[in-house]
Structure formats: C-alpha cells, structure tokens
Structure 1
Amino acid sequence: MKIYISSDMEGSTGVVSAAQVDCTKPQYLFGRAMQAADVEAAVRAALEAGAEGVVINDSHCTMTNLDIAKFGGEVQLITGTPKLLGMVEGARGCDAAIFLGYHAMAGTEKAVLDHTFDQYTIYSLSVNGRKMGETGVNALLCGALGVPVIMVSGDDALCMEAGSLLGPELVTCSVKEGLGRGAALCLTPESTAELIYSGVKKALARLKKGECRPFALEAPYLLEVTLMNTLQTDAASLVPGAMRTAARTLRFETEEALELRRFLYSVMECASATLSGF
C-alpha cells in the first residue's frame, strides 16, 4: 500500500496569518514548523497502519518548505516548482491520497486564509457547475488518476467544504475553528498530532474495507473561472481554448480532467503578469 500526501500550509495547526505562510517573513518559521508537525503525524500513522511507502508532495508556495531529513527511508518527498500537476504531482500509482493543511475556497466566511490557488487573480471557479476550491480541483485530478482522497485536514470551514463535496466516506480532521480570515481558535500541536494520527488510521481502515472511491465528474469537463478584474481577464483570454463569457469570466471545455490544471495555471500566469501594471 502506497500513500500520497499533498501538504499545504494555510490549514496547518496554529496558522492564522499571511506572514506565517510567507517565506520572506520571520513568522514563516512557525508556519513551516507546524506544517512539518502535521505531516509527521500523518506519516507515522500511515506507516504503522501498514503502508509500504509514503509520497509527500510539498504543495505550498515555492514548495520547498519540508525537510527530507525529517523523514525515514520509507518516505519520498516531491519538492520544488513548477510541477506538471502542481499540488497533486506524484499521486499517480498511489493507493490513496491525504490532503493536509488545506484551506477553504475563496469567499468562505470564517475561513482562515481562504483563497483558491491564487488570492490575487482567482475570484471563483466551478467545474460542471459545481463551485469548488483547491480541495475539489485536486481531488478531481487525483480521481482522474484513479486515486481516492480519503482524508483532509484544515479548519472547520475546509472540513465542511470537503465533506460536502467528497462524501461521507471522507475523514475530516479540523485543527482549528476559523473566527475570520486572520483569526482562529486553535488546538495545540500535541492535540492535533493525535487527531491527525487517529484520522489517518481511520481513513486507511475504510480504504482497506473498500469504502473509498475516487472523486469523479462526468466528462466533458466545463471549467468556469472568474478573475479579479477585467485587465487580468483580457490577458488570460489569450490562453488557447479560453472562451470569454462575461467581463471577468472565462470558460474552458475538455474531455480530459488533467487538462483542467494546465488551463487553470496558464490563466493564472497570464493574469498575474498584469498585476504590476494594474
């Protein structure tokens, strides 16, 4: 059994501030330590539950936050960027995926550091009419690879979002209760380590019973993405396959789920290029 972990930082234990997830700020050392602590608890549980190997994908910002020296020989770490599948690079061939330190989609009330991939360009997105954030898109990409998402951790809002989208078989682990975008009622690392450890054990038990299925939507896939302003949309409309349906909204249709990621990140790159001139 090979387990995959996609590790973000905003939803990690104790993290509430943008400075704590920004590698240029002194507070980043705290965010990095909390991300690592959450991952270590999940890895320990997976290996004790019988996993023969664990693949971790560092999925935050520069994606160079985790230290490979912290893990044992059964663990492999995917680090650095860009990566073809971004936050789910390396999921192919694994038996199940775990999303750690994830956050709610942009526009979610009382959600810590809510955003959808890029807080400066993406206002909202949907696939086949279903509004989703990073959890949904990444679960869909994993599903296209035949990999079920069996557990997520983050704040209360993220757990509610993930559970409503991925179904009752998903194990959710709330490490904090969001009080706003930059405030939360947090549990201690000791408490969340136990919660994550128990959650992984529970999720893997369900997996072994055959209760977990990959998340899938019916093709063709229709992605609609709304950007922050019209200048960004002007630039992003140049991406091949983009159809502009409103002043700030682009539409893209494909038969291949993995092409959604390629299009979405191309849109973000084009939109981001306008930021200095807006």
Structure 2
Amino acid sequence: MTSVLVSTGMEAATGVTRPDDVEPGTASWERMRPLFTGDVNAVADGLLAGGASDVLVDDAPCTQRNLLLEALDPRAPLLTGRHEPLGMTAGVEPADAVVLLGHRTGAGRQGVLSHTCPGTGPTGFRIDGEPADEGRVNAPIAEEHGAPVVLVTGDDLTCRAAGTWAPDALVEAVEECVSRYAALCLPPGRSAGPLRARAAGAVRLPRARSDRADVPEERGAPGRPHRFEPDFHAPHPAAAVLAVPTVEPCGPRGVASAAPDATTAARTSKVCTTVAGAAMEDHFD
C-alpha cells in the first residue's frame, strides 16, 4: 500500500510565466487553471498506474482554490481551502510519499516566478544557511511525517536545486527558465506524457526504501533543529517581526529564528511572514 500526497504549486506549472498567471480573478489565471489541473491529472494517473493505492491532491497556492475540481481525475480527492495547519504539506499525516508539483525556486534566486511568501516582502530566505527554495521548507516536514519526497516538478532550476534537498527524488521539468518572467514551455500535449511516466516510476521509490534493512519500521524521521533567516526589502517588516517569540535580528533588514524541527520552524516562519505583511503600507512600501 502506497498513499501519495501531491502538494501543488501553480507558479511552475505548465505554461505559467507571469504574476497574472497565478493571481486569482485575472483572465490569465483562469486560462492557466486548466493547464495546472492537467499537470495534476497527469501525475495522479502516473502514480496510480505505478501502483499507488490512493492519491490526495493539496491545492496549496495562494487562496488554495486554484484547481478545477470538476476537471480533476475522479480517483484523486482534493484538499482545498485556506488555513491548513501544515500549509503546503497538509494531508501528509497518512501519506507514504509526497510529490512536490509545480514548485519554484526561492526569493532572490533565478527561476520562473521565484519568490518566498509573496506579499510579505522577503528578498532572500535561507534555511540552515542554504537558499530556501520552496522544497527545502516542505521536504523535511514530509520526512518528519514518514513520507519522503519522491518526485519534484517545476522549471529546470527547481529540478536542479531539488538535488540538494530531495536527492533521492525523481524530477521532471515542464519549463526551462529564461528569466523570472519568461520560460521555454512545453505544450500540455508534450508535458503530460513525461509527467505521467516519471510519476509511475516515483511511486516505486518508497517501496524500495521500505525494503532496505537499514530503514526502521516506524514512520517518520526524528526532527532536527533548523534556522530560518528571511531578509526583507526594508527595515520596518523586520522590526515588526521581532515581536514574535524566538525571533532575533539578523542584519539591518533580516531576522532569524531557530526551532527544534522543520514543522515548528515552518509554522514560526508563517507567523513571521504574516506579521511582516501586516507591516506594509499600501502606497509607500
């Protein structure tokens, strides 16, 4: 039995290249929703063909109401709506494996629509001294819940970066980054097949891992300490975030917080970026 969580990001789905493509309510967003849903369907079909017992899809980006439920593979239930306790890894508790679909590189890095926590101003983000790609936040949370990341999709730079935070995962690029707002994109008719095939192969990875003698039977990995360091575009968001317990200054525009495990670190970071967003002024930031 292999239960798989598909944690979705829209910023690096097939065809997405500009902010309007992921901004709810815009014409571009409406146009990209079927393409995004198509990526998810290709991966879900591949996972099930590869032997997954069930697939849960987490609609994680922005308002968390982006995927078209009526067009989704009927075998893959959808977790949708805001304020999920584990954010992009909501639904990981019963899973045996995780797919990070449509993920991107982090703030301050090259990559299609690269950013960390939009609307809150981070211009850079580090975790344990390394660039905080989206997957570097989510992969250790998945591991702590006993569900390793087995597949990463996105642009070519995200797939390359995944080697540092999910070295055992398969990758599949649907876009080649040209700039932050431009990419060489595969049409859906060409991206779907490779996504399906890669997902079918990825679902076998947890089985191989569980068959190894050196892997303990109990679920999850012991949490280890992590240090999150976001940099903001100006001093005042950083000053506002210092009101959060455990947070300390880190340079003139940055803060740092340490936590005993990845799940706690990510929750603290969410509080920090929410406070930073509330510190913004509409016409002067």
* Band of TM-score, shorter chain: over 0.9
Partner of 2:138: 138
Amino acid at match of 1:35: F
Report deviation, 1:73: 5.1
Q: Which deviates further from its counterpart, 116-125 or 170-179?
A: 116-125
Partner of 2:188: 189
Amino acid at match of 1:100: L
How many residues are treated as equivalent by the alignment?
276
**Structure 1 residues 92 and 49: CA distance shift in structure 2, 3 A:** same
Q: Which deviates further from its counterpart, 69-78 or 121-130?
A: 69-78
1:180 correspondence with 2:179: yes
Report deviation, 1:98: 0.3
Q: Under a length normalisation based on structure 1, what TM-score does the superposition of the two structures give?
A: 0.92
Structure 1: which 5+ residue stretches go unaligned?
Answer: none
Distance between the aligned counterparts of 2:118 and 2:140, measured in 1? 18
**Structure 1 residues 268 and 183: CA distance shift in structure 2, 3 A:** same
Distance between the aligned counterparts of 1:207 and 1:273, measured in 2? 41
Q: Is the 8 A contact 1:231 1:274 kept in 2?
A: yes
Report deviation, 1:187: 0.7
Q: Deviations over 1:219-264 (max 9, x none)?
A: 2222222222101111111111111132112121121321112111
**Secondary structure of the equivalent of 2:5?**
strand
**Structure 1 residues 134 and 44: CA distance shift in structure 2, 3 A:** same
Amino acid at match of 2:102: G
1:30 correspondence with 2:31: yes
Amino acid at match of 2:225: P
Q: Which deviates further from its counterpart, 39-48 or 223-232?
A: 223-232
**Structure 1 residues 120 and 257: CA distance shift in structure 2, 3 A:** closer
**Structure 1 residues 220 and 202: CA distance shift in structure 2, 3 A:** same
Report deviation, 1:47: 1.3
Q: Is the 8 A contact 1:123 1:228 kept in 2?
A: yes
**Structure 1 residues 215 and 193: CA distance shift in structure 2, 3 A:** farther
RMSD over aligned Cα atoms: 2.1
Report deviation, 1:131: 2.2
Partner of 1:113: 113
Partner of 2:278: 273
Q: Is the 8 A contact 1:108 1:157 kept in 2?
A: no
Report deviation, 1:165: 2.6
Matches within 5 A, 1:191-206: 191-206=190-205
Matches within 5 A, 1:190-269: 190-210=189-209, 219-269=224-274
Report deviation, 1:271: 0.7
Q: Which deviates further from its counterpart, 46-55 or 93-102?
A: 46-55
Distance between the aligned counterparts of 1:131 and 1:247, measured in 2? 19
